[in-house]
Amino acid sequence: MSKGKDNKPHIGIYGRRNVGKSSFINALTGTETAIISTIAGTTTDPVKKSIEIFGIGPAILIDTAGIDDVGELGKKRIKKTLETITHIDVAILLISNNNFDTFEYSLIQEFDNYEVDYIIIHNKEDVEKLSNSTKIKIKQFTNAPIETCSVKQSINIGEVIELLKISTPQTAYQKTNLLGDIISKNEIIMLITPVDSEAPEGRMILPQAMTIRDVLDNNAVNIVLKETEVEAFFQKSTLKPDLVITDSQAFNFVNKIIPREIPLTGFSILFARMRGPFNDYVEGAKKISKLEDGNKILILESCVHQVSCEDIGRYKIPKWISKFSGKELVFDVAAGLTEIKNPITDYCLVIQCGGCMITKKQLLNRLKPALDANIAVTNYGIAIAYMNGILERAIEPFVKNLSVVHE
26-40, 55-69, 183-197, 289-303 — which is least confidently predicted? 26-40
pLDDT digits (tens, 9 = 90+) for 183-215: 999 999 999 998 765 666 777 888 899 999 999
Contacts of 22 (CB under 8 A, 6+ apart): 33, 34, 35, 36, 42, 43, 63
Give, in degrees to the nearest 5, the angle at Cα 248 between 224 and 351. 145
Summarised one tens digit per residue, pLDDT across range 306-324 is: 444 468 888 999 999 999 9
Q: Detail the DSSP E strand segments found in 76-132.
A: 90-96, 117-123
Element (H, E) at 134: helix 132-141
For the entire predicted model, the pTM comes to: 0.75
Map 140-170 to HEC letters: HHCCCCEEECECCCCECHHHHHHHHHHHCCH
Beta strands 57-63 and 47-53: pairing type?
antiparallel
pLDDT at 6: 47
Q: Angle of helix 21-29 relative to helix 157-167, nearest 10 degrees?
A: 90
Instruction: Give the tens place of pLDDT for each residue, 210-264.
Output: 999 999 999 999 999 999 999 999 999 999 999 999 999 899 999 999 999 999 9
Write the pLDDT tens digit of every residue in 69-94.
Answer: 999 999 999 999 999 998 898 999 99
Res. 42: pLDDT tops 60:
no
CB neighbourhood size of 377 (10 A): 25
Q: Which of 279, 265, 243, 302 is nearest to 381 (CA)?
A: 265
* pLDDT value of position 172: 56
Cα angle 140, 142, 143 (rounded to 5 degrees) comes to 105
Burial (CB < 10 A; 0-12, 13-18, 19+), residue 102, is: exposed
Longest alpha-carbon distance in the chain: 78
**The residue type at 192:** I
Measure the N-to-C terminal CA separation of the chain; round to a whole number of Å.
Answer: 38
Domains of the chain, with CATH numbers? 10-172 (3.40.50.300), 188-270 (3.40.50.11420), 280-391 (3.40.50.11410)
